[in-house]
Chains A and B, each alone.
Chain A
Amino acid sequence: MQAIDTGSTAWMLVSAALVLFMTPGLALFYAGMVRSKNALSTTMHSLFAMGLVSIIWALVGYTLAFGHDFGGIVGGLQAIGLGGVLGSVTGSGTAAIPTSVYVMYQGMFAIITVGLITGAIAERMKFKAYVVFATAWVILVYSPLAHWVWGGGWLMKLGALDFAGGTVVHIASASAALATAICLGRRKGYGTEELRPHNIPMSVLGAGILWFGWFGFNAGSALASGHLAGSAFMATHLSAAAGLLAWNLTEVLTGRKPTVLGAASGAVAGLVGITPAAGFVTPLAAIFIGLTCGVLCYFALRIKNRFGFDDALDVVGVHGIGGTTGALLTGIFASVAVNAAGANGLLFGGGPALLGKQAIGVVATIAFSFTMSFVILKLLDATMGLRVDPETEAMGLDVSEHSETAYEL
């Protein structure tokens, strides 16, 4: 067997576990924000993805994303069923790790990306339809996208930078979320009833777990242990902190109270924003990115009701706006002094070239994910139906879809 670096292998094993842990964190974050009658159904969207997406990833997802490049669009089928993975090595030198670790690490990203979409389907989608949608989405949307950006596909060749998944994870999930919000329609009672969060402490715990797991997500995206992992870790933490402060500050400056859900949302906005940039920017740039995302996501949520889509838990507002902002700011703040494998952005003498490539990455991801998701959803709506009936929706999906209730009060 080829030699591997034990330090990097240890860090990547831990990172894979950290990224997996984000998904139950997301389940808590989302479940706290729905009404108590849908707490379990919302939890289940994320939890079930841990089972479903893992198996799809092993069977076909990994090879479609990271198999030998096929026209810049998709990976080949060499590693179908993870054939040939055992005993092989990914990376070289101090970044040489077992391919098995790489497969698991990347698979955890696919899980959380599906989980993120579910914020938009909360409280009204049939569970069966969700399962079919998630299956199709991982194979037809996530795996090719991961190939474009990380697997040797056309965006990677173009030179667009996405350190940890600003496009593949956040913009892709937000675009799919927008498609689901449009195809499903608004929740019953939207605009007339109070669709209030039922358990904010649960959401705060979830946001805390997300923040913790994000160190594996971003610092792990160095794909090795060392300076780059350290700088990505630092950038991630500072951006989250800045996002938290920015959200609360914006609330106060616009005459509101500093809310707890706002602090948690601001931290997540900062984490989303730094995701594409984490391994390419200085600590001060990371703080700027966090501040910008905290403010922009706050205003995105303030104006979202004018658009009339019921993106129940704000996937578009936080992950779409935050992810896009982070991807574009990477084109401004990236510096080869931080990461020689990156490029110089607008502020570091690189001119507008990188910013242009970043914009292409953003637009391509939105167009691909939105269109594909929309088509999949329309097909499902015509065959099995996407939405529960109004009576079931009023009763809550915990009982109708899972025969359970979250609380005995």
Chain B
Amino acid sequence: MKKIEAIIKPHVLDEVKAALQQLGVTGMTAYEVKGFGRQKGHTEVYRGSEYTVDFVPKTKIELVVDDDIAPKVEQAIIDAARTGKIGDGKVFTSTIESAVRIRTGERGPEAL
């Protein structure tokens, strides 16, 4: 099993979700997050005072999938989330040791 975590632009979330559903992915978790990378923040002005906002709003998605479809999932996220502009985000893949479905006690890929 692989865990795939991706930081993406908030407005591409629906496209990413649709692409993953087409692959047969049955679940994922999405968070609203703030962070910074190479994309710089922006400046806000209130009553003439400037405030630099370093943390940019992003969406983080997280899902655990079977080993065989992990590369496809990774590619689907990349295709759906790419705008070609700075700040498109990153995808991380790691290995998961175990998974349990709480309701039934199923373990491993069966639990996904």
Q: How far is the CA of A314 from the CA of B47 in the complex (A)?
A: 9
Shortest C-beta distance, A247 to chain B (Å), equals 9
**Chain A interface residue bracket vs B:** 10 to 19
- Identify B48's interface contact among A194, A196, A197, A301, CB under 8 A: A301
Q: Is the CB of A298 within 8 A of B48?
A: yes
Q: Is the CB of A262 within 8 A of B47?
A: yes
B53 CB within 8 Å of chain A: yes
Q: Is the CB of A197 within 8 A of B46?
A: yes
Q: How far is the CA of A257 from the CA of B47 in the complex (A)?
A: 11
Contacts of B51 in A (CB 8 A): 194, 196
Q: Is the CB of B53 within 8 A of A265?
A: no
Bits for B42-53, please: 1 = Cβ < 8 Å to A, else 0: 001111110111
A88 CB within 8 Å of chain B: no
Q: Is the CB of A194 within 8 A of B53?
A: yes
Shortest C-beta distance, B9 to chain A (Å), equals 22
Q: Is the CB of B45 within 8 A of A256?
A: yes
Contacts of A257 in B (CB 8 A): 45
Bits for A323-362, please: 1 = Cβ < 8 Å to B, else 0: 0000000000000000000000000000000000000000
Shortest C-beta distance, B110 to chain A (Å), equals 37
Minimum CB distance partner of B44 in chain A: A196
Bits for A155-194, please: 1 = Cβ < 8 Å to B, else 0: 0000000000000000000000000000000000000001
Q: Is the CB of B45 within 8 A of A265?
A: no
Q: Is the CB of B49 within 8 A of A305?
A: yes
Contacts of A33 in B (CB 8 A): 46
Bits for A260-279, please: 1 = Cβ < 8 Å to B, else 0: 01100100000000000000
Minimum CB distance partner of A260 in chain B: B46
Minimum CB distance partner of A259 in chain B: B45
Interface residues of A in 283-312 (CB under 8 A from B): 298, 301-302, 305
Contacts of A259 in B (CB 8 A): 45-47
Shortest C-beta distance, B89 to chain A (Å), equals 24
Contacts of A251 in B (CB 8 A): 48
Minimum CB distance partner of B47 in chain A: A301
Minimum CB distance partner of A317 in chain B: B47
Shortest C-beta distance, B92 to chain A (Å), equals 28
Q: How far is the CA of A270 from the CA of B44 in the complex (A)?
A: 24
Interface residues of B in 43-74 (CB under 8 A from A): 44-49, 51-53
Q: How far is the CA of A108 from the CA of B52 in the complex (A)?
A: 40
Contacts of B53 in A (CB 8 A): 194
Q: How far is the CA of A257 from the CA of B45 in the complex (A)?
A: 9
Shortest C-beta distance, B41 to chain A (Å), equals 11
Q: Which residues of A contact B (CB under 8 A)?
A: 33, 194, 196-197, 251, 256-257, 259, 261-262, 265, 298, 301-302, 305, 314
The 3 A-B residue pairs with the shortest CB-CB distance in the complex, in nearest-first order: A302-B48, A301-B48, A301-B47
Can you name 20 extra interface pairs (CB under 8 A) apart from A194-B52, A257-B45?
A33-B46, A194-B51, A194-B53, A196-B44, A196-B46, A196-B51, A197-B46, A251-B48, A256-B45, A256-B48, A259-B47, A261-B47, A262-B47, A262-B48, A265-B47, A298-B48, A301-B48, A301-B49, A302-B48, A314-B47
